[in-house]
């Protein structure tokens, strides 16, 4: 049986339509990745196209990795020659080879958000502008928006006209770009912008890549911005064999510059384009898809399509309304606890990051292991950025920001005044900061500090020599930096949990480096730094960990779960008040697309929840049920709503006996952690293995030789107050303690986390 016979008719047509521009409108869960990978296999196996001439672009490292794995499985020979990567990774590869055309060195640094803010502070200081008037983040957002539209500083200034502030922002933009180039650095937006500039200005480079990539496929096309549209247009300009796959109903990244017009106007941009719709959904049940269809059909700016499935109707969509937001969180987490489902199959989705707090607290309260996606990124932690700054300095001595970050970390007795003198010397002589430090003895009035600076330079040069000569692996290089710089000793000297945690985080960075080296044919420090810079939060999710996933709707794009709770379904929160009050008619439409994305994440069961009262910016606000819930027909909903009453109404009036959180309380002595002790024990494996819920790091657990309290003793807990110890079990790596608290009721917890005190 041919691999193409397993495709449905519309998927097969999309695979076989190889010549000319093609738009594949792929509804949620319709198998678009399957189409893309089978298309690659068809081009190579049936059409005789060289793998070298095929390019497949997507947005995330995770999606690119999945596509690469599938292509490798389908294509027997030559799969490794197919270019499968993200937009930014593709541009990095092109720029590493040709950026000298634009006056940069090929060992350029990629600046992340923190690097950009640090540089912007320097720019504002250089231009003598008030940072209170021109906030770093706000100006950087303006610059990013300009780059998305391929606007240069001169063009931005021209558009500003007589607007003084806009002209000043254009001036800041110009200085910012000058400083980036001086540091031989690019920000993320520049990766696309500079590649477009390269292909536009230099025909020989453009001709090379147009010949190289005769067949181009772009995934998630609805998320492209204008710069990415131009990049794709330039690459496909000669042969026109461009296949874009996307869903206008899932265009939710306007705030990042995504332009839905790219997909809606595809036929105008590429005359003669063929359009194929993939509407059969393989993920969700019928009731979930019908709800999604009924919501999204209220949008005007969309291409008509309707999802359907052969999976059966399944359960109705459930809607639950609560009086208070904390009641909503408590009910959802309890239901997850009592559902009998694997935690990894459960996801709680919400509109804003701020909503996560209550769910995190409830997960901790009920000992539910969870993973927060969209929290503090691993690579944004101070200790990680410090070590990466060392590596950046070793790889590229022209990166002033990296040098300034570590010149006195750990402390070397090099003060701010000495650093300022070095900066002045560098500026006056056209040196990078590192080159100036290397000439420390020539800097006036440094005195003995020059010797300290020279030791730092010698240290970096020694690291650099080892790295370039291949004397050590990347893992060994990081370990060497840790020990010889004194960074590890400083953290160990802190002697507290925070210092230990930071060391554990650095150990995880070392694990990352070792994993990278094992998976790369030709590992290099520069490539490793690129890979780290391009990592996204969602790429770090590990399906093997049995944890509930907490995430915003934007983070959930591309994922799927058996059980989804979509929370905070209130007008003013979702859709947001900003969207409701906006003059832009697309405001609510984008929010509705976001709701559509949330609904279609669910495979088997979907629950929508709302609260009548919610604390926002320190104030209690009352809200009505989201219009998106009201757009779902009653026949698809199993609904429990509060009866409309005065704001003083007690939440006790809402009672649905079928809900687990409204069932009669268990008698004393009966575990409240599921349908038996074994179920609880199996679900807390991540705790006993030393991983604390809600933290992306290992949590060191030290089992006490003995406890200071026993069964029957009175104890106190920092949160639950006083109670009586009912039972103590030896769980191997820790003691499991059951306590009947006077006010909080019965709780079961691990001794190391509980920190109970005998009264």
**Preceding peptide of 410 cis, ω within 30°:** yes
Which residues have CB under 8 Å from 251's CB, separation 6+? Answer: 222, 223, 258, 260, 263, 590, 593
Which of 13, 18, 33, 117 is the catalytic position?
A: 33
Which of 169, 219, 248, 399 is the catalytic position?
A: 219
d(CA 550, CA 359): 8
Beta strands 370-372 and 274-278 are: unpaired
Residue 219 a catalytic site member: yes
d(CA 672, CA 665): 9
User: Is 637 exposed, middle or buried (CB count within 10 Å of its CB: 0-12, 13-18, 19+)?
Assistant: middle
DSSP 217-266: EESSGGG--HHHHHHHHHHTTTT--EEEEE-GGG---GGGT--THHHHTH
DSSP 180-195: HHHTTEEEHHHHHHHH
Which of 34, 147, 302, 601 is the catalytic position?
A: 601
CB atoms within 10 A of CB 644: 8
Are 195 and 205 within 8 A, CB to CB? no
Which of 32, 142, 405, 592 is the catalytic position?
A: 32
d(CA 593, CA 299): 8
Are 707 and 735 within 8 A, CB to CB? yes
d(CA 88, CA 511): 24
Q: What are 246's strand-pairing partners?
A: 25
Q: What are 85's strand-pairing partners?
A: 57
Cα angle 409, 412, 418; round to 5? 95
Which of 115, 187, 220, 589 is the catalytic position?
A: 220
The two three-digit tokens of residue 78, written as one number: 């030559």
Which residues have CB under 8 Å from 331's CB, separation 6+? Answer: 320, 322, 609, 659, 661
d(CA 396, CA 403): 10
Strand arrangement of the beta sheet that strand 54-58 belongs to:
83-86, 54-58, 215-218, 242-246, 22-26, 274-278
Are 276 and 23 within 8 A, CB to CB? yes
d(CA 541, CA 616): 29
Whose CA is closest to 223, among 256, 182, 185?
256
User: Is 197 exposed, middle or buried (CB count within 10 Å of its CB: 0-12, 13-18, 19+)?
Assistant: middle
Residue 385 a catalytic site member: no
d(CA 99, CA 92): 9
Residue 614 a catalytic site member: no
Residue 250 a catalytic site member: yes
DSSP 540-591: G--TTS--EEEEEHHHHTT--EEEEEE---BTBBTTBHHHHH-S-THHHHHH
Q: What are 204's strand-pairing partners?
A: none
CB atoms within 10 A of CB 543: 6
- The gap from C-alpha 184 to its chain's centroid, in whole angstroms, comes to 27
Whose CA is closest to 17, among 275, 301, 294, 332?
275
User: Is 217 exposed, middle or buried (CB count within 10 Å of its CB: 0-12, 13-18, 19+)?
Assistant: buried
The two three-digit tokens of residue 382, written as one number: 């101070």
Beta strands 637-640 and 317-324 are: parallel
d(CA 611, CA 614): 7
Residue 220 a catalytic site member: yes
Residues labelled catalytic: 32-33, 219-220, 250, 601
């Amino acid at each position: 049986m041919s691999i193409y016979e397993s495709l449905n008719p519309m998927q097969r047509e999309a695979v076989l339509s190889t010549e000319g521009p093609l738009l594949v409108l792929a509804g949620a869960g319709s198998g678009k990745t399957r189409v893309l990978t089978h298309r690659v296999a068809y081009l190579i196996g049936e059409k005789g196209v060289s793998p070298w001439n095929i390019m497949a672009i997507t947005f995330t490292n995770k999606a690119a990795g999945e596509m690469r794995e599938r292509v490798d499985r389908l294509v027997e020979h030559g799969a490794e020659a197919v270019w499968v990567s993200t937009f930014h990774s593709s541009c990095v590869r092109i720029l590493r080879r040709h950026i000298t055309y634009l006056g940069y060195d090929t060992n350029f640094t990629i600046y992340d958000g923190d690097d950009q803010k640090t540089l912007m502070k320097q720019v504002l200081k250089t231009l003598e502008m008030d940072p209170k008037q021109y906030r770093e983040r706000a100006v950087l957002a303006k610059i990013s928006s300009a780059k998305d539209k391929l606007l240069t500083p001169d063009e931005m200034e021209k558009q500003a006209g007589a607007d003084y502030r806009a002209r000043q922002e254009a001036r800041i933009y110009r200085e910012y770009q000058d400083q980036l180039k001086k540091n031989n650095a690019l920000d993320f937006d520049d990766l696309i912008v500079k590649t477009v500039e390269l292909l536009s200005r230099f025909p020989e480079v453009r001709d090379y890549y147009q010949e190289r990539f005769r067949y181009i496929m772009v995934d998630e096309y609805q998320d492209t911005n204008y710069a990415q549209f131009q990049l794709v247009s330039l690459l496909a300009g000669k042969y026109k064999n461009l296949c874009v796959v996307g869903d206008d109903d899932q265009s939710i990244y306007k705030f990042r510059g995504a332009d839905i017009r790219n997909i809606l106007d595809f036929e105008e941009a590429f005359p003669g384009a063929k359009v194929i719709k993939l509407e059969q959904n393989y993920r969700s049940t019928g009731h979930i898809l019908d709800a999604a269809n009924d919501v999204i059909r209220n949008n005007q700016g969309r291409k008509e399509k309707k999802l359907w499935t052969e999976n059966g109707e399944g359960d109705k969509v459930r809607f639950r309304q609560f009086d208070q937001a904390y009641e909503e969180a408590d009910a959802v987490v309890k239901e997850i606890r009592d559902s009998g489902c694997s935690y990894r199959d459960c996801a709680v989705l919400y509109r804003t990051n701020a909503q996560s707090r209550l769910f995190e607290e409830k997960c901790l309260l009920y000992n539910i292991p969870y993973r927060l996606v969209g929290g503090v990124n691993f690579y944004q932690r101070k200790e990680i950025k410090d070590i990466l700054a060392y590596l950046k300095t070793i790889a590229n001595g022209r990166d002033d920001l990296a040098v300034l970050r570590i010149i006195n970390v750990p402390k070397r007795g090099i003060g701010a005044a000495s650093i300022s003198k070095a900066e002045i010397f560098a500026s006056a002589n056209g040196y990078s900061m590192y080159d100036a430090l290397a000439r420390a003895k020539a800097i006036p009035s440094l005195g003995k500090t020059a010797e300290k600076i020279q030791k730092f330079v010698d240290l970096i040069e020694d690291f650099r020599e080892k790295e370039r000569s291949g004397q050590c692996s990347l893992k060994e290089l990081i370990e060497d930096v840790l020990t010889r710089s004194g960074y590890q000793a400083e953290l160990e000297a802190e002697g507290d949990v925070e210092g230990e945690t930071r060391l554990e985080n650095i150990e995880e960075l070392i694990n990352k480096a070792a994993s990278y080296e094992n998976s790369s044919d030709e590992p290099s420090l520069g490539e490793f730094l690129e890979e780290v810079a391009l990592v996204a939060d969602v790429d770090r999710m590990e399906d093997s960990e049995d944890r509930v996933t907490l995430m915003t709707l934007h983070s959930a794009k591309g994922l799927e779960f058996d059980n989804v709770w979509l929370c905070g379904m209130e007008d003013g929160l979702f859709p947001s008040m900003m969207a409701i009050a906006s003059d832009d008619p697309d405001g609510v439409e984008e929010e509705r697309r976001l709701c559509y994305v949330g609904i279609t994440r669910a495979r088997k069961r979907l629950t929508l929840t709302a609260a009548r009262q919610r604390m926002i910016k320190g104030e209690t606000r009352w809200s009505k049920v989201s219009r998106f819930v009201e757009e779902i027909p009653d026949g698809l909903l199993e609904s429990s709503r509060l009866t409309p009453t005065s704001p003083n109404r007690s939440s006790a009036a809402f009672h649905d006996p079928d809900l687990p959180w409204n069932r009669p309380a268990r008698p004393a002595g009966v575990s409240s952690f599921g349908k038996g002790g074994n179920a609880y024990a199996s679900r807390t494996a991540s705790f006993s293995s030393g991983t604390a819920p809600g933290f992306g790091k290992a949590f060191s657990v030290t089992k006490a030789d003995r406890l200071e309290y026993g069964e029957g003793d009175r104890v106190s807990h920092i949160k639950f107050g006083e109670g009586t110890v009912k039972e103590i079990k030896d769980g191997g790596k820790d003691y499991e303690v059951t306590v009947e608290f006077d006010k909080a009721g019965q709780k079961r917890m691990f001794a190391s986390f509980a920190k109970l005190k005998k009264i």
